[in-house]
Amino acid sequence: MSDLHERLRRLIAERAEPLGVPGVAVGVFHEGERFLTCHGVTSTANPLPVDETTLFAIGSVTKTVTATAVMRLVERGEIDLAAPVRRYIPELGLKDPEAAEHVTVLHLLNHTAGWEGDRVVDTGRDDGALAAYVATMAEFEQVMPLGAVVSYNNAALSLAGRVVEKVMGTTYEAAVKDLVLEPLGLTHSFFDVADIVTRRFVVGHGSKGQAGGATEVVGQWLMERCAAPAGGLFCGVGDLLDYGRFHLGDGDGVLEPETLRRMRRPSTAGTSTDGDVGISWFLRDAGGVRVAEHTGGTTVGVALLTLVPEHGLVLAVLANSIGAGAGELLEEVRALVLEGHLGAEPEPLVPANLAEEQLAELTGVYDRGEGHLLVMSADGDRVTVERRFSDELIARYRELMPDLEVPVQEPITLVPLAGDAFQQAGRPGKRPHGRFVRLDGKIVAVEWSGRVAPKIS
């Protein structure tokens, strides 16, 4: 472990600055040993050293915390994963009446609800924010049939948070503190801005769309309160690592060991690009070793929590940058631990060498929603993607970053792989970056960055 610690320390010291990451914290637990290594500063404008208690946004890793709270209520007999959500929220209205009637709690936790999942609606910061957000979901489009396809869904997790509120009779944040944070002794984990700003915390950084631009502080910091169950938790790397250790342990009297194992078993008939989906955890094989994992990303930075049950290993990574370099740093840290330390080398990706008519199936226009289209055309044995953004979408991002410069969108090249998967040419990573989705043998959508975009022409 001391050798791994030194290699990780050296990696982040050498790679963080070139990749535009001002501050990073890494924690590893393996074979009964635990170590943390931190590098850099909380903010380039007001720099303080990053340490193990510095608060980072863990983004969507929060989804596993929400699911953990739900599973505590399942063990108490207060929630049934197979029950319709309307058992707990009778007033639930969705644009698709069939989905509203039949959606279950499990659909919310394994990303198979099928409606558009990234619509942002700021419903305020009072205790009714989640209830108000759920009321707006009556206007959300049903993109895929309920339960048919895995498509990453923030809105579904907000709805799961509202289920927790209704069952517990309190706010989501108070319920999670009572059900998860306090029982696990996570004393450096907070949702409330008043708790965060009285401690050492990071801000996000990015180039704001400028080619070759310097890493600057991103002004947008606070997430909408209605999104808290999907991505609102801040914590230190020590807490995040200990939370991961809990999920690999015996439950600490908080959850039964079998419940924790159940969360790490496939819970869907379909798969995602990267493997199966459990109860909030994304599951994959790495060199024959099963990995349960969740990543997170907000305007404050990126996060990674990886569990390797077979080896008793937990990896936690937090960084305060939202640029592509931050994702690359997470990939390098993950590779050093899984491949360099455990020897869990992924199988090499093999291009599919599709025939002309097979490539033609993939071409067309795919709608990512909110004014973002992907126009795909065949180019030899590959697929070229042109991205088109509406003025409304650009305006929304300029609200977050007023000085955002929208760079010229160069075409993206996709390399088709077996099983309708693909890799993005020139992008780091040894796993597929997306896949084309079939229903009844026909290409109906593309899954990219976890989200499914339906084919519209």
pTM to 2 decimals?
Answer: 0.93
Q: At what angle do helices 324-335 and 2-15 cross, to 10 degrees?
A: 160
The pLDDT score that the predictor gives to residue 270 is 65
The pLDDT score that the predictor gives to residue 406 is 61
Instruction: Give yes or no: 158 in active site.
Output: no
Q: What is the pLDDT of residues 250-289, one digit of tens each?
A: 999 999 999 999 999 999 866 667 689 999 999 999 888 9
Residue 211 pLDDT class (50, 70, 90 cuts): very low
Q: What is the pLDDT of residues 73-83, one digit of tens each?
A: 999 999 999 99
| Catalytic residue (choose from 43, 60, 280, 321) | 60
Give the mean model confidence (pLDDT) for residues 416-438.
89
Which residue, 147, 72, 141, is CA-closest to 110? 147
Task: Return the minimum-mean-pLDDT range out of 142-146, 215-219, 263-267, 331-335.
Answer: 215-219
Which parts of 6-71 are beta strand (E)?
Answer: 23-30, 33-40, 56-57
Give the mean model confidence (pLDDT) for residues 329-336.
96
Please report which helix (H) or strand (E) contains residue 314, including its range.
strand 313-319
Burial (CB < 10 A; 0-12, 13-18, 19+), residue 46, is exposed
Please report which helix (H) or strand (E) contains residue 134, including its range.
helix 129-136
Q: Bridge-partner residues for 421, per DSSP?
A: 435
Helix (H, G, I), strand (E, B) or coil at 156: helix
Q: What is the pLDDT of residues 225-259, one digit of tens each?
A: 999 999 999 999 999 999 999 999 999 999 999 99
Residue 20 · residue 218 · CB < 8 Å: no
Exposure pattern of 414-453 as b/e (b: 16+ CB <10 Å)? bbbbeebbbbbeeeeeebbbbbbbeeeeebbbbbbebbbb
Q: Which of 18-22, 79-83, 377-381 has the highest mean pLDDT?
A: 79-83
